[in-house]
Chain A
Amino acid sequence: MTDFLERRAVISGIGQSKIGRRLGRSAVDLTVEAGLAAIADAGLTRHDIDGLATYPGGGMGGEAFAGPTSPEVQDAMRLKLNWHDGGGEGPGQIRAVFAACLAVAAGLARHVLVYRTVTESTAQGSGGRQGIGGAVSGGGRVPRFSGSFQWMLPFGAVSAANWLALVATRRMHEFGLRRDQLAWIALNGRANAARNPIAVYRDPMTLDDYLAVRMVTTPLCLYDCDAPCDGSTAVVVSHADYAPDAPNPACHVNAIGTALQGRPSWDQFDDMTTMAARDAAASMWKRADLRPSDVDTAQLYDGFSIITMVWLEELGFCAKGESGAFVEGGRAIALDGPLPLNTSGGQLSAGRLHGFGLLHEACVQLRGQGGERQIPRQPEVAVVANGGGPIAGSMLLTRGAG
């Protein structure tokens, strides 16, 4: 068997800050809270941490989206680092975890703290969600755009909601996907969130509720869009030889998926019924010694419900175009079903922790620490997927060394 380097890494600790709507706390404050929790959970102290990584860090979006830069966090925690990394380009939000896995495998660091922090709910205030370029409306001269945004913003295609709605419409046309099928991503998330005390939306949701709520951009309604929140998620990525010493069961990395073969574009991708998820998932399975049928739980990106549908197909849990029938009725993806999906409630109901909430939940479930929402049959293998459109990364985790 090929010795893929990511298999030398484990997730030895996990932690989260307080999570909620409009907490009014700074991003670095939340990050330190999550970081200290993850470090303690790994049975380590700050002095053991010699690596630091984040997505995206400075330079992408505002701070409410990007979270604090890695230098800010390093300084706030007075970390002495042998390796550090931050960036927004790569295979999804989870790219920071991939970088950390390779760093520990290469011996650049032994214990890497990886975090993703958002304060988008506080930043949004009492107003609605804004699109890219949306801040231009306050009067004065409207700025102009270069690069890829110039092809979308003039036409009011200002949000990933619009761009992904195009994927959803095309799937309805080619595959006969229906809204009452798509609904089950949101309904499943809400059912799971009822068992998660820190989920931001926990009230029951019915199919009628889903079908009656306002449209955002057809065919995506409000409940197809994730819920902005404030919060930080951190994990400690350690060398696998630390696993026996970790106080909690270490989650072993079996494979990472990083490929991007199609054009890196929301609108020029070669097949508008799918996304970069196709390439990331295929590359992950090539590196894995497991198959889709081995997976006990899937924690798949649900920034918008349609993304989750594409991941379900591209990861091989159902055939292409058949995710509508697969999720319809919710049995296949329920907590006690064959493929429990987004068991914390996902981003649609637990809050938009931007990929890392799903990673955290995969570890919680593999460790058997889900409490009321623990999958009844203890999962041994979990898949995590991050990103939509041209952004995609996936990861296969196991409870033991495999």
Chain B
Amino acid sequence: MSEAASGSEPETTTGTPLGRGPAIRVLPRLDDANRFFWTSGAEGVLRFLRCERCRRYVHPPAPLCPYCEDGQGHLEPEAVSGRGRLHSFTVNYQQWIPDDGPYVVGLVTIDEQDDVRLMTNIVDCAESELTADMPVEVTFEAQEDVWLPLFRPAGGSRFRPPGGSR
């Protein structure tokens, strides 16, 4: 039984509010290799590079498929389901910068291929509900020209995120 009250905001196990991420989000510098990834959330989907020949997903972006022996497997961005598993997580309590409150750093593997991992924030989930291997689904947070893929418990959450998430 979770100690977080249904419908309220997610909390840590000590009852303090659990934020959606750090106080300031340091953003990626967009370039031709990573732009597809960081802007894909504008369409509400998560994309990874996928080899047109061996069909494996490759992350982070690479110039050519590292799995094709001849190094000639061509990679193209392809949408995935946005569903995955929480491989591991940590609730960060350290105030690395002023105004940082507790937030969850998650390491998510995507359902399509379990060696494709993303570091992310787990949102709309109380600390007491976090367990390794729990199913999660993507939700995006827009920051300037970047759509950050965050993840929340699959199948919806009891928590209503403040300000609305996409």
Contacts and interface: CB of A to CB of B under 8 A. Distances in A.
Interface of A: 128-131, 133-134, 136-137, 142-146, 148, 150-159, 161-162, 165-170, 172-173, 214-220, 267-268, 270, 272
A337 B22 CA distance: 44
B56 to A, nearest CB: 14
B96 A158 contact: yes
B34 interface: yes
Given A150-B34, A170-B132, A267 B91 contact: no
Nearest to B22: A156
Given A156-B22, A158-B22, A144 B91 contact: no
A320 to B, nearest CB: 17
Contacts of A217: 90-94, 105
Given A166-B90, A166-B105, A142 B22 contact: no
| Interface size band for B | 35 or more
Contact of A268 (B23, B59, B96): B59
A152 B92 CA distance: 13
A38 B37 CA distance: 51
Interface string B79-101: 00000000111111111111010
Contacts of A157: 92, 105, 119
A218 B132 CA distance: 13
A161 B105 CA distance: 11
6 contacts: A130-B96, A145-B28, A146-B29, A150-B34, A154-B25, A155-B150
A136 B97 contact: yes
Nearest to B92: A217
B26 A166 contact: no
Contacts of B148: 154-155
Contacts of B60: 148, 151, 268
B96 A136 contact: no
B93 A218 contact: yes
Interface string B5-31: 000000000000000011111111101
A154 B31 contact: no
A173 B120 CA distance: 19
Nearest to A164: B90
B117 A268 contact: yes
B96 A159 contact: yes
Nearest to B105: A157
Kindly name the residue among A154, A172, A173 whose own CB sees the greatest number of chain B CB atoms within 10 A.
A154
Contacts of B29: 144-146, 150
A145 B90 contact: no
